[in-house]
Amino acid sequence: MHRSSIHTSFSVFIFAVVSLLSSVAGTADAQSPIVPLDIAEPTIAISPDIFYPLDEILYVEGLARPHASVKVELRKSGAKPIRLSSQASANGEWTIAERLMLEKGDWEIRAQVVENGSASAWSNPRIIRAVINGFQVGNFTIKFSTAALYLSLLFMAGLSLLVYGSVRVRTMRRREENRIRQKRIRELESKLKQKELEELTKSVQKGFSEIRSDILEKGIAQGTLPQTQEESIEKLQTIQSKIEEEIHDVAKLDP
Categorize the per-residue pLDDT at 48 as very low, low, confident or very high, splitting at 50, 70 and 90: low
pLDDT of residue 42: 56
pLDDT in tens, 187-204: 888 888 888 778 877 787
Neighbour tally for 229: CB within 10 Å = 16
- Decide if pLDDT at 214 tops 50: yes
CATH numeric code, 43-132 = 2.60.40.10
Whether residue 133 has pLDDT greater than 60? yes
Report CA-CA distances (Å) from 80 to 12, 83, 84, 104, 119.
64, 10, 13, 13, 22
* Predicted pLDDT of residue 53: 86
Q: Reading across the β-sheet that carries 58-63, which strands appear in turn?
A: 43-44, 58-63, 93-98
In this predicted structure, the answer to whether residue 150 has a pLDDT above a threshold of 60 is: yes
Mean pLDDT of 101-116: 89
